[in-house]
Structure 1
Amino acid sequence: MVKSLPLRSEVPTEEKWDLTSLFASSEDFEPVPEALEKEAEAFSAQFKGTLAEPASIVEMLEAYTALYEKITQAGAYASLSLSTDQSNDEAQMRASRFGSAAAKIGSNLSFVASELLELPEATLEAAIVQAPPFENYLKKLLRRKPHQLHPEAEKALAAYSATFNAPYGLYNTTKMLDMSFDNFEVGGQKYPLSYVSFEGDWEAETRTDLRRAAFTAFSDKLEEYQHTAAKTYDMELQTEKTTSDLRGYGSIFDYLLFDQEVDRSLYNRQIDLIMKELAPHMRKYAKLLQQVHGLDKMTFADLKISLDASYEPEITVEESKKYINKALAVMGPDYLEMVERSYSERWIDFAQNKGKSTGAFCSSPYGSHPYILISWTGRMNEVFVLAHELGHAGHFHNANREQNIFNARPSLYFIEAPSTMNEMLVANHLLANSDDPKFKRWVISTIVARTYYHNFVTHLLEAAYQRKVYERIDAGESVNAGILNTIKRGVLEEFWGDAVEITSGAELTWMRQPHYYMGLYPYTYSAGLTISTQVSKRILSEGQPAVDEWLDVLKAGGTKTPAELAQMAGVDITTEKPLRDTIAYIGELIDELVSLTEEIDQA
């Protein structure tokens, strides 16, 4: 049974991550924001108005790199220490103080881009010849030239960065602090409910009456905050629209896709093909869930249940390491050393506690090691979640070592490929080591329910909803709770058809996702998984050569576009073929689940 969550102070140390590689203590961090402000002022005083020749540009960029690394690590510490307990007053103030400092720092540093873009292109090309590591930074800067504003306007916008980021902070405050869930009751017994317990346990609860009651109680609480949440989201959308217009982009989509280095056709393709061609496969999967569990009807509240929950073993953190080591062994000893360090040096926060951010993520501050947040429930599917985040860690472990801070991070379009690759490697390993039909069904259903459902359905439906929202904003309109609910319900009904009843409360799912405050992020999960599905097939069939090419992709970081990175791994994302092949593969997996279920039932 789900228990009430402990306070952060009650969690054993071994379940928490260790942030001392960033700062030895919170006391050591205290003077840092002000010190960085002064350093940025000194940097501005030294270099502003001096950028005329290649030598002065290179000198400035070298100093800028060192300063940027310090800012990145300080920002990571402020953010990470808050993410484990949003109710901690000290952590709240620390994050707020850093946000204010970062705005001042950004304002002082805005001259860098402004002055560089005022120089003749030939001067920047000469600087690239003198210092090739800055080629990527300078060429990306030149791409932005048509959208660069007057230096004073850029300085003012940078000074307002903390204000522009405020909607995301407000979203988290509402979600993690103001939203308090009461116990819900079934059959005269009360059960505890929280954001973490709903998403980590109750959604997958095998007892239908408990699962559906938890969904209703959870949705009822979301509904109480829907108007505040909608207004917060509209603030974010209007800020993005204003920025897009100010900078002269053709549409808000062009603005948000610019840094991803892909055009709108790739964005639309992911949404359109999946909505149309994956839907029939997933409806078949929903019907299979209904049949196996003997449900009177299939509702939205039932979609996260396991096909065979009785078979899913519980697993400890220590046991998870064995599975992950075996699954990722194909990546080589250096990669496995990174995995070992992540456990032994406490890079991972496993705890479940009140106030902790929901979901899972990996933060990889340059100059330090990655940090992974996860709320460990003991379910076997957590191995896939942890492998996913270790995929991000392995990506930046390699990229940060091989590239400078400006070259390390790839386009958002590609960011989920290394993470979902690890999920595929776990699945491949488990399938290769058993012929038992029940175990095979459990593994395949986990791939479908965890890897593909999460990335190709959950996030893709978010993307389809998000596109409709942005179309309204681009037309000069705004949104409120009623409009968002209508859009979300429409997308869910279009995808699931008559296979799933979209019950009351499902339309509020838009309130649960922080990705909406990160631009066009949700669709990139399916884009990354499309790439990793194809590469994982190559690794199965070709072995070491495919692994070596993939490791080269990880090391390349952000030095190439998404299409170029995918090409390095043998995947051509400029065509529909990889996506269509991946959708067909998901269909094959679901057909195999149907066959295995028939075999098991007849045994």
Structure 2
Amino acid sequence: MENSLKHRSEIPKELTWNLSSIYDTIEGLWEDINKMKILTSQLEEDYKGKLRSAKIINCCLDQLRQIYEYKDHIGSYVELALSVDYTNHENHDLYSIVSNIISDINSKLSFINSELVQVEEEILIEAMQTSKSNKGYLEDILRIKPHMLHPETEKSLAALSTTLEAPYFIYEQSKLADMQFDDFIVDGNKYPLGYALFENEYEYESDSKLRRAAFHAFSSKLKEYQYTTAAAYQTQVQKEKTLATLRGFDSVIDSLLFPQKVDRELFDRQIDLIMDKLAPHMRRYARLLKKVHKLDEMTFADLKITLDPEYDPKITIEESKKMMEEALAIYGEDYIKMIQSAYDDRWIDFAKNIGKSTGGFCASPYQKNSYILLSWSEKMAEVFVLAHELGHAGHFKLCNENQNIFDVDVSTYFVEAPSTMNELILGNHLMQSNKDKRFQRWVLSSLINHTYYHNFVTHLLEAAYQRNVYQIIDEGGAISASVLNKIKKEVLQKFWGEDVVLTDGAELTWMRQPHYYMGLYSYTYSAGLTIATQVSKRMQKEGAKAANDWRQVLLAGSTKTPVELAKMAGVDITTDEPLLDTIEHIGSMIDQIIALTDELEKGTK
């Protein structure tokens, strides 16, 4: 265990990412900001009040794409710089200044959509037919037409975009900059604590006394911030309800599903079937953990421990590189070169430092390389996270190479399929590399403990909780810390039943998830993994052919809906079958783990 988290300035350069592929210097950033401002003013002057013909519409949108590219690069740069150190005042100031500039740009450009929704449908169709590049943008205009507000209202909302994002910013600031964790004591020994230390280290700690003490100390600190965090979240969901009502949606949920291009049935199915059908399987796995670890009781703080901690090897960054190259070779030589570049050219931020965002993510600025944030722990869990984020990088590499910037914004319903697919490919590769029973059990339990638990349990329970919150908001209610604690505890109790003791602090888990400030995102992890599981099974049977078909799905970007993308991969997500089959697949993996455990125990007697 590390003695303490370091400041960003103390981190070795080779463990940090290099943002120079976006901008070499701050001067380069400001040059593009000025170019964006000039282009915006020119576009406004040339086209405002004139979007009446297909030709003029396409000319306007052609220029808009260039502004979008500038916005994407500029916004990505300041967000990435801030994400690795929320205690850096210079990054804060730059982020705030640039956010205000982009809000002003958005306000000036708001006339485009406001005018386009007033254009006759025949003209928009003509514009689509004469410009493939603008087709997707104009199709979206036809979709949003019933929900557009008065042009001046749209302009005002665009100008307020930074203010409207304030709840998320306040949440992150409170969590990553203000929240200071004290050391905690176990058997006379002092241990450091922090968000990354807890989520990447202590949750997987094999020493039950230390793990549970860390959970207690972590939860105690969260509890001190529950009212501020609840206030930020209340502001977020109330904002979403107000916007949903203004735009004519009956429910916040319908409003947030609209940009995902899926209907309510797919959302509810994902939550209801997993809560009902997966829970019995995961309870069996919880009972197995309790038995193998000889626990007095299975508590919420014990759910992420590995089945065989003595067999969970430390994995260096260099070893993970070799593992990725071997496992993901099925995608072809260009994919392997991307992986090598990710390591060699510092696309990945491996560091653990004070003020850094927790968890992992991948950002892919248009036609630039991707950037992956991790907090490297040398554990198998982090290897699966890295495979996951490289899945996003590979996906958007193909999107960026084959689509214009209007057509790369893939629906969040589908976007986690390529990432979770990589986790499954990694697991399948490891299973084929060594037939030793203990190794096989370790791989299977890693998939259950990391890939499926994270996406089908952690994020799914967040989604069930989130749905309950929005139902309260839709009915005109309000949420407070006590209400949120109650909702979260009830969701956990429903899933885990009597097999897991919900110790104090479990109810505060809602405070740990930034995805609540990103719409209906949490449920999409299980949706993506459902698709990935089905395609992965096909890859195991068909090999390169299935992998090549999957590449065609990935390069399609947002030119197709999630239902269409899944269909291209041979999966019909309009039915229950893929999800039920995936749940059955998880259950069969747990059966294998239990059987292997019995065999290994017999072999030691």
Taking structure 1 as the reference length, what is the TM-score of the superposition? 0.99
In structure 1, what residue type is equivalent to 2:200? G
Provide the C-alpha distance between the structure 1 equivalents of 2:309 and 2:38, rounded to a whole number of angstroms.
57
Supply the AA of the counterpart residue of 1:73.
H
**Counterparts in 2 of 1:171 and 1:459: CA distance versus 1, 3 Å:** same
1:351-392 Cα shifts (integer Å, max 9, x gaps): 111111000000011121111001101112321110000000
Question: Structure 1 stretch 38-47 or stretch 155-164: which is displaced more?
Answer: 38-47
Question: Are 1:67 and 2:76 an aligned pair?
Answer: no
Residue 252 (structure 1) aligns with = 252
SS, match of residue 570 in structure 2: coil
1:593 to 2:586 alignment: no
> Does 1:572 pair with 2:572?
yes
Q: Tell me if structure 2 keeps the 8 A contact 1:271–1:460.
A: yes
Q: Give distance in 1, aligned partners of 2:544 and 2:288.
A: 37
What is the alpha-carbon distance in structure 1 between the residues aligned to residue 39 and residue 62 of structure 2?
Answer: 14
- Structure 2 residue aligned with 1:216: 216
Helix, strand or coil for the counterpart of 1:249?
coil
- Corresponding residue SS for 1:185: strand
> Cα offset for 1:169?
0.2
Paired residue for 1:286? 286
Residue type at the aligned position of 1:348: I
Provide, for residues 418-443 of structure 1, a one-character-per-residue CA deviation record: whole Å limited to 9, x for no partner.
00000000000000111111101110
Letter of the 1:164 counterpart: L
Q: Distance in 2 between matches of 1:480 and 1:67?
A: 41
- The 1-side partners of 2:480 and 2:32 are apart by 40
Map Cα deviations across residues 544-575 of structure 1 (whole Å, 9 max, x no partner): 22111100000001100001000000001010
Per the alignment, residue 136 of structure 1 pairs with: 136
Distance 1:441 1:98 in 2: 50
Inter-partner Cα distance in structure 1 for 2:32 and 2:556? 31
Letter in 2 for 1:232: A
Q: C-alpha distance in 2, partners of 1:356/1:132? A: 41
Conserved 8 A contact 2:367-2:397: no
- Partner of 2:414: helix, strand, or coil? coil
Match of 1:95 in 2: 95
Q: 2:185 aligns to what SS in structure 1? A: strand
Report deviation, 1:257.
Answer: 0.3
Determine the C-alpha separation between the residues in 2 that align with 1:243 and 1:3: 47
| 1:201 equivalent in structure 2 | 201
Instruction: Quote the offset at 1:348 in angstroms.
Output: 0.7
Matching residue of 2:307: 307
Given residue 71 of structure 2, which amino acid in structure 1 is its aligned partner?
Answer: I
CA offsets per residue over residues 443-463 of structure 1, 9 Å max, x none? 000000000000000000000
Deviation at 1:141, TM superposition (A): 1.2
Supply the AA of the counterpart residue of 1:508: L
Match of 1:370 in 2: 370
Q: Deviations over 1:257-290 (max 9, x none)?
A: 0011111010000000000000000000000000
Quick one: which amino acid aligns to residue 166 of structure 2? A
Partner of 1:305: helix, strand, or coil?
Answer: coil
- Cα distance in 2 between the residues matched to 1:385 and 1:156: 40
- Correspondence for 2:110: 110
Report the equivalent of 1:441.
441
Q: Does the Cα contact within 8 Å between 1:33 and 1:97 map onto a contact in 2? A: no
Query: For residue 404 of structure 1, what is the amino acid of its counterpart?
Result: N
Contact 2:320 2:383 in 1 (8 A): yes
Matched with 1:241 is: 241
**Any idea what SS the aligned residue of 1:398 has?**
helix
- Verify the 8 A CA contact 1:73 1:367 in the aligned structure 2: no
Following the alignment from structure 1 to structure 2, what is the Cα–Cα distance between the partners of residues 409 and 178? 33
SS state at 1:282 partner: helix
Q: Which residue of 1 aligns with 2:537?
A: 537
For 2:68 and 2:410, locate their aligned partners in 1 and report how far apart those are by CA, in whole Å: 17
2:327 is paired with a residue whose SS is helix
The percent identity for this pair of structures is: 54
Contact 2:417 2:527 (8 Å CA) reproduced: yes
How far does the alpha carbon of each residue in 1:145-179 deviate from its partner, in whole angstroms, 9 at most, with x for none?
Answer: 00011111110111111110000000000000110
Amino acid at match of 2:498: D
Question: Counterpart of 2:413?
Answer: 413
Matches within 5 A, 1:390-469: 390-469=390-469
Q: Letter of the 1:125 partner, please give it.
A: I
Whole-angstrom distance in 2 between the partners of 1:194 and 1:262: 38
Q: Distance in 2 between matches of 1:183 and 1:341?
A: 38
For residue 81 of structure 1, what is the aligned residue in structure 2? Answer: 81
Q: Which residue of 1 aligns with 2:230?
A: 230
SS in 2 for 1:406: helix
Give 1:110 deviation, angstroms: 0.2
Contact 2:380 2:446 in 1 (8 A): no
Tell me the equivalent position of 1:176. Answer: 176
Distance 2:91 2:443 in 1: 40
Matched, 1:563 2:560: no
What is the rounded CA distance, in whole Å, between the counterparts of 1:270 and 1:126 in structure 2?
38
Separation in 1, partners of 2:66, 2:301 = 50
Which amino acid is the alignment partner of residue 479 of structure 1? I
> How far apart are the structure 2 equivalents of 1:190 and 1:359?
25
How far apart, CA to CA, are the structure 1 residues paired with 2:141 and 2:340? 38
Q: Which residue of 2 aligns with 1:336?
A: 336
Q: Between Structure 1 and Structure 2, how many residues are aligned?
A: 603
| Alignment partners' CA distance in 1, 2:229 and 2:517 | 12
Aligned residues of 1:196 and 1:358 also touching (Cα < 8 A): yes
Matched-pair contact (CA < 8 Å) for 2:395–2:554:
yes
**Which residue of structure 1 lines up, in the alignment, with residue 53 of structure 2?**
53
Q: Which runs of 5+ in 2 are unaligned?
A: none
Which residue number in structure 2 is paired with residue 481 of structure 1? 481
Amino acid aligned to 1:253 = I
Structure 1 residue 125 corresponds to structure 2 residue 121: no
Aligned partner letter, 1:224: E
Equivalent position of 2:297 in the other structure = 297
Superimposed CA distance per residue, residues 119-163 of structure 1 (whole angstroms, 9 cap, x where no aligned partner): 111111111121112111101111000001111111011111111
Shift of 1:32: 4.7
CA contact (8 A) 1:181 1:194 kept: yes
C-alpha distance in 2 between matches for 1:262 and 1:118 = 25
Deviations 1:50-90 (A, max 9, x none): 21211111111110001110011000001000001010000
Deviation at 1:2, TM superposition (A): 3.2
Q: Which amino acid is 1:257 matched to? A: L
Once the two structures are TM-superposed, the CA of residue 31 in structure 1 deviates from its matched residue by 5.5
- 1:148 and 2:129 matched: no
Looking at structure 2, the residues matched to 457 and 596 of structure 1 have their Cα atoms a distance apart, in angstroms, of: 23
CA contact (8 A) 2:249 2:255 kept: yes
- Secondary structure of 1:298's match? coil
Distance 1:35 1:224 in 2: 46
What secondary structure does 2:457 align onto?
helix
Cα displacement (A) at 1:475: 0.7
Decide whether the 8 Å contact of 1:533 with 1:582 is kept in 2.
yes
Partner of 2:513: 513
Distance in 2 of aligned mates of 1:493 and 1:466: 15
SS in 2 for 1:554: helix
State the Cα distance separating 1:39 from its structure 2 match: 3.3
RMSD of aligned alpha carbons: 0.9
* Separation in structure 1 between the aligned mates of residue 381 and residue 359 of structure 2, nearest angstrom: 13
Partners of 1:494 and 1:345 in 2: CA distance: 46
Distance across 2 between alignment mates of 1:438 and 1:381: 18
Structure 2 CA distance for aligned equivalents of residues 339 and 156 of structure 1: 43
How much does 1:341 deviate?
A: 1.1
**Secondary structure of the equivalent of 2:190?**
strand
Is the CA contact 2:84–2:357 (under 8 Å) kept in the aligned structure 1?
yes
Gaps of 5+ in 1: none
The alpha carbon displacement at 1:98 in A equals 1.2
C-alpha displacement of 1:117: 1.2
Separation in 2, partners of 1:456, 1:326: 26
1:206–1:309 Cα contact (<8 Å) kept: yes
Cα separation, 2, equivalents of 1:31 and 1:478: 45
Shift of 1:598: 0.7
- State how far apart, in whole Å, the 2-side matches of 1:157 and 1:365 are: 25
